[in-house]
Structure 1
Amino acid sequence: MRVTVIGCGYLGATHAACMAELGYDVLGVEIDTAKRESLAAGKVPFYEPELEDLLAEHVGSGRLRFTDSYEEAGGFGSIHFVCVGTPQRRDGLGADVQHVDAAIDSLAPYLTEGALVVGKSTVPVGTAARLAARLGDGAELAWNPEFLREGFAVRDTLQPDRLVFGVASEHAEARLREFYAAVIGTGTPVVVTDFATAELVKVSANAFLATKISFINAIAEVCEAAGADVVHLADAIGHDDRIGRKFLNAGVGFGGGCLPKDIRGFLSRAGELGVEDTMSFLRQVDDINLRQRTRVVQIATAMLGGNVARARVAVWGAAFKPHSDDVRDSPALSIAGQLHLHGAQVSVFDPKANETALAKFPTLDYAESALAAARDADLLLHLTEWPEFREVDPVALGDVVRRKQVLDGRNRLDLDAWRAAGWATRALGRGSRRSLSLSPAS
C-alpha cells in the first residue's frame, strides 16, 4: 500500500513520518517551497520531540519523499490523507476550510479507480458529506480525526488511545482496518461511525478539555478570595474517577492552534445549525480563559507597586505549552506583550520557542537562558511549565535579580523552597492561608 499525505505542516509531517515508520511508502504533498525543501532535507521546520530523527531516517531510506504535484500524488497512492490546516476565519469565529476544499479539488482529477481519501483535518460538522460528492465516482471518502498532543505527537500517532473511522461503507472501514492493522493489533480501540459523528468527536473532545481548564481556573479565583488552595482542591476532586486529575491544573489558561479556535469554531457551527444556545457555555469557557491573562497582568502590576513602567520583568516561557515551540495564541507571550505595552522592560526565555516568539513579538527582549532573562529583574513570571525551570536554584537566582519576587502562573514551582530562599511568592488560586474572619449570623 502506498500512501500520500496532503499538507505537511505539523499534523501532516508527523503523520507522514509515522506512516513511513509503520512500513509504508509515503509521498508528502506540500506547496510551500521552503517547508517542502526543509522536509526533503530531513529537517522539521518546527520543534517536536523525536520527529526530526524519524523524518531523517525515512527520507534517507527513500521510504518518504515530498512533492508539490497533485498529479504525481494521484498516481502514486491508493490512500490519500488530507492534513491541511483549518485556522479560525479572519471574519468570524468559524473554521476556515478553504485549504481543505483546495486540497480535495486539486487531488480529485488525478485519483485512480478505488482510491480512498481520508480526512484528518479538524473541520465543521457537515464538511465531509459535502466533500464526498466532489471526489467523483471512482473514489471514496472517509474521516479519521487526529488527536495529537504537541510534544507527544509521534507517540500519539504510533500508539493512539483510540482510532475513529467515519465511513459511508463497509469497504472503507475494511481498508482503514487493513491500513492501521499494526496499530490495532496492539490493542488500540476502534470506533466506527458516520461522517458527522467523526467530525464532532474531535471538537467535542477539545471543548471538554477546554471546559475543564476554565472550570478549575474559575475555582482558582474563588480560592484566592476565600484563602483556599486550588492545588489541594484539584488533588481532592481528581481522586473521583468520574472527574480525574488531568487538565485540572489552574494557571494562565490554554492556548495553541487547537483548543481556542476549535471551541470558537464549534460555537459558530452550532449557531449555523440552530443550536447556538445549547453551546453558549463555550463563550464563558473562552472568556474565563482570556481573563486569566488579564488577571496575571493585574497581579504582576500590584506586585510592582501599582505601576509597571520601567520595571524589569523576566518571563520564563513563550510556547503555549512545554515540549513545543508553538506560540500560537500563547498565554505567556500575550502576558509579556501586555506588560511591555504598559511600559515594562520584558526579557523572555524559552528553551525552544525563542525564535518563533521573536517572529511574533519582535519588540520583546529574548535571553539565552533562564538566569540571563532574570538578571536585574524586579519580578519573575513563570508562564510555561518547562521542567528545567523547576530545577533552577532559587538561592542562586536571588543573587541575579534586583528584587526577589516570583509569580508562578503554572502552579508548578516549589514555593516553599522559594520562600525559604527569601522570595515573595504569588500563585493563581493559592490563598494567603489566613484564617477567614466570619461575621456572626444576624
Structure 2
Amino acid sequence: MALKITVIGTGYLGATHAAAMAELGFEVLGLDIVPEKIAMLSAGKAPMYEPGLEELLRRHVPGFEGSTGRLRFTTSYEEVGEFGDIHFVCVTTPQKHGEYACDMSYVDAAIDSLAPHLRRPALVVGKSTVPVGSAARLAARLTELAPAGADAELAWNPEFLREGFAVQDTLHPDRIVVGVTSDRAEKLLREVYETPLAEGSPFVVTDYPTAELVKTAANSFLATKISFINAMAEVCEASDGDVVKLAEAIGHDERIGKKFLRAGIGFGGGCLPKDIRAFMARAGELGADQALTFLREVDSINMRRRGHMVELAREAVGGSFLGKRVAVLGATFKPDSDDVRDSPALNVAGQIHLQGAQVTVFDPKGMDNARALFPTLAYAPSALEAAQGAHAVLHLTEWAEFRELDPAALDGAVAERRILDGRNALDPERWREAGWTYRALGRPTV
C-alpha cells in the first residue's frame, strides 16, 4: 500500500516540503493551526515568496487544470492522525524572547496535539532545527501519549533548504540525513526519498543527537566562513587591501572554496543568527560552552558590519544624516526571497532613519513584509523612484536587477552620484566610469 504523508506546520519549510512530497508521488495532507494559511494554500497560493513553489502547489492542489489532486490541507489533527503513515513536523523554533536559547513550544505543542490521534503504527519525523537532546525527549513523549504506544516511532531528518532554492533543495537534496533508532524507520525514510536516492543523493544514517547536531553545525560553519571574510574586510580597510581580490585568491584553495566568501553587511534571516545562538546556549547547558565560545565572536563580527555600513554612509554624506535623503536598494535578508527576518538591509535602513535621514527603500519582493516591520520608512515602487533626490544610494541586498542597474539611468534622479555597495556585488569600474563615487566594504576607496 502506498505511503500517505502529512506535514505539520505549513510555513516556509512545511509548505515547500508538502508540495515536494506530492511532486514525488505521495498523497499528502498538510496541517496548520492558522485557518487563513490553510485557505491560502488550498487556493494554490504560497504564504511566502519562494521561486517555483506556487507552480508546484497548483500542480497538486485540487481545483486546478491538470492537477493531480494529491495535496490537501486541514486544521484537524484528528484527520491528520487517521490519514498519515508518516508525519513530518515542520514547525518553527524561534529564539526565546530575551534569551539565546531555542523556543521549543511549537514543536512540543505539535507532538502533544498529534500523538493522541496515532492509533496505528506511524513514523513521526522531525525536520525542525532543535537543540541536541530534544529528539530523545520527544520520542519518549510520543510513546507516552500515542494510543499506538511504541509503534508510534520518532525519527529526525534535518532540513538544509536555501531560501530561493527550497523547491530544488527538497526535490534534489545534496544530502539526506536521518536519525533513527530502528531498521523500520530507516526503511520507511528510504521509501520516502526513493526518487532523490536513485538520482544519487547521499543518505546518511545516524543516531538522534548527531542528526540534530548536523544542521546547527552546518549553519555555524557557514556563519563562521561569512564572518571570517568580513573580519578580513576590516583588516583590508585598515591596510588599504582589497577583500574581493583576497577572497578570490584564497577561494582557489580547494580546502577553502569560493562560496560564502563575499564580504558585506553580514548574514541575517530566520536561521543562521538564531541557530548559532541556540547552539551556544545548548552547549552551555551540556557543560561544553568553551567549545563554542568562538561563535560569540562570529555573531559579534556579523552584527558589527551593520553599524559599520551606517558609519560609511554617514561619512559619505558629510558627517551627518540630518537633511539628507538616502535610497536603500534591498529589504530582504537575501535575494530571491520575501523574508525580512533579521534583515541586515532593513536594520541599516532603520538605523540611518533614526539618525535623521529620509530613507526610501525598494525591494523586488519584500516590500509588504518590510512595511509591516518598519512602517516609518518610506517605500518606492522602483529603484529609480527610490533614488529620487538621494544624496547616497545603498546597495544592501544582491538582487540580480540591482547588479544590472544602469548607473546612467539613475543620474537624473539622484541629488549626488554616490553609491555604497554593501554586498560587494556591483562593478566598481562601471559605476566610476559613469561619474559615480563608489565605496564598498573592505575595498580601496579608489
TM-score bracket relative to the smaller structure: over 0.9
Q: 2:181 aligns with which of 164, 168, 181?
A: 168
Query: 1:91: how far off?
Result: 3.3
Aligned to 1:105, what secondary structure does the other structure show? helix
Aligned to 2:61, what secondary structure does the other structure show? helix
- Which residue of structure 2 aligns with residue 423 of structure 1? 436
Q: 1:141 aligns with which of 143, 154, 161?
A: 154
Q: Which residue identity is paired with 1:368?
A: P
Aligned to 1:185, what secondary structure does the other structure show? helix
Aligned to 1:121, what secondary structure does the other structure show? coil
Q: How does 1:289-304 map to 2 (within 5 A)?
A: 289-304=302-317
Identify the range of structure 1 (77-86 vs 175-184) with the bigger mean alpha-carbon deviation: 175-184
- Which residue of structure 2 aligns with residue 204 of structure 1? 217
Q: How does 1:366-381 map to 2 (within 5 A)?
A: 366-381=379-394
Is 1:114 aligned to residue 127 of structure 2?
no
- Which residue of structure 2 aligns with residue 35 of structure 1? 37
Q: How does 1:211-290 map to 2 (within 5 A)?
A: 211-290=224-303
- Which residue of structure 1 aligns with residue 422 of structure 2? 409
Q: 1:50 aligns with which of 40, 49, 52?
A: 52
Query: 1:254: how far off?
Result: 0.2
Q: How does 1:308-327 map to 2 (within 5 A)?
A: 308-327=321-340
Aligned to 2:141, what secondary structure does the other structure show? coil
- Which residue of structure 2 aligns with residue 353 of structure 1? 366
Paired with 2:27 and 2:427, the residues of 1 have a C-alpha distance of 48
Q: How does 1:12-23 map to 2 (within 5 A)?
A: 12-23=14-25
Is 1:337 aligned to residue 350 of structure 2?
yes
Query: 1:67: how far off?
Result: 0.6
Residue pair 1:251, 1:410 contacting (<8 A) in 2 also = yes
Paired with 1:129 and 1:28, the residues of 2 have a C-alpha distance of 25
Q: 2:78 aligns with which of 71, 78, 83?
A: 71
Query: 1:138: how far off?
Result: 2.3
Is 1:386 aligned to residue 393 of structure 2?
no
Query: 1:112: how far off?
Result: 3.1
After superposition, the C-alpha distances for 1:288-337 in whole angstroms (9 at most, x for unaligned) are 00000000000100001110012000000000000000000000000000
Residue pair 1:203, 1:262 contacting (<8 A) in 2 also = yes
Identify the range of structure 1 (28-37 vs 323-332) with the bigger mean alpha-carbon deviation: 28-37
After superposition, the C-alpha distances for 1:327-382 in whole angstroms (9 at most, x for unaligned) are 00000000000000001000000000011100000000110001010011000000
Residue pair 2:438, 2:445 contacting (<8 A) in 1 also = no
Query: 1:179: how far off?
Result: 1.4
Residue pair 1:318, 1:332 contacting (<8 A) in 2 also = yes
Aligned to 2:323, what secondary structure does the other structure show? coil
Paired with 2:235 and 2:73, the residues of 1 have a C-alpha distance of 52
Q: Which residue identity is paired with 1:101?
A: D
Paired with 2:142 and 2:359, the residues of 1 have a C-alpha distance of 52
Query: 1:432: how far off?
Result: 3.4
Residue pair 2:403, 2:425 contacting (<8 A) in 1 also = yes
Aligned to 1:223, what secondary structure does the other structure show? helix
Paired with 2:381 and 2:401, the residues of 1 have a C-alpha distance of 14
Structure 1 consecutive aligned stretches of length 4 or more whose deviation exceeds 3 Å: none
Q: Which residue identity is paired with 1:119?
A: G
Gaps of 5+ in 2: 144-149
Query: 1:127: how far off?
Result: 0.3
Q: Which residue identity is paired with 1:98?
A: S
Residue pair 2:439, 2:445 contacting (<8 A) in 1 also = no
Paired with 1:413 and 1:267, the residues of 2 have a C-alpha distance of 35
Q: 2:91 aligns with which of 84, 88, 97?
A: 84
Paired with 1:34 and 1:396, the residues of 2 have a C-alpha distance of 42
Residue pair 1:78, 1:112 contacting (<8 A) in 2 also = no
Paired with 1:399 and 1:150, the residues of 2 have a C-alpha distance of 35
Is 1:3 aligned to residue 16 of structure 2?
no
Query: 1:192: how far off?
Result: 0.3
After superposition, the C-alpha distances for 1:106-153 in whole angstroms (9 at most, x for unaligned) are 010111322000000000000000000112222100000000000000
- Which residue of structure 1 aligns with residue 146 of structure 2? none
Identity score, percent: 66
Query: 1:76: how far off?
Result: 0.0
Paired with 2:342 and 2:192, the residues of 1 have a C-alpha distance of 35
Paired with 2:409 and 2:78, the residues of 1 have a C-alpha distance of 60
- Which residue of structure 2 aligns with residue 126 of structure 1? 133
Paired with 1:45 and 1:170, the residues of 2 have a C-alpha distance of 36
Query: 1:393: how far off?
Result: 0.9
Aligned to 1:134, what secondary structure does the other structure show? helix
Residue pair 2:417, 2:437 contacting (<8 A) in 1 also = yes
Paired with 1:391 and 1:247, the residues of 2 have a C-alpha distance of 21
Query: 1:225: how far off?
Result: 1.1
Paired with 2:409 and 2:156, the residues of 1 have a C-alpha distance of 53
Residue pair 1:2, 1:78 contacting (<8 A) in 2 also = yes
Query: 1:395: how far off?
Result: 1.6
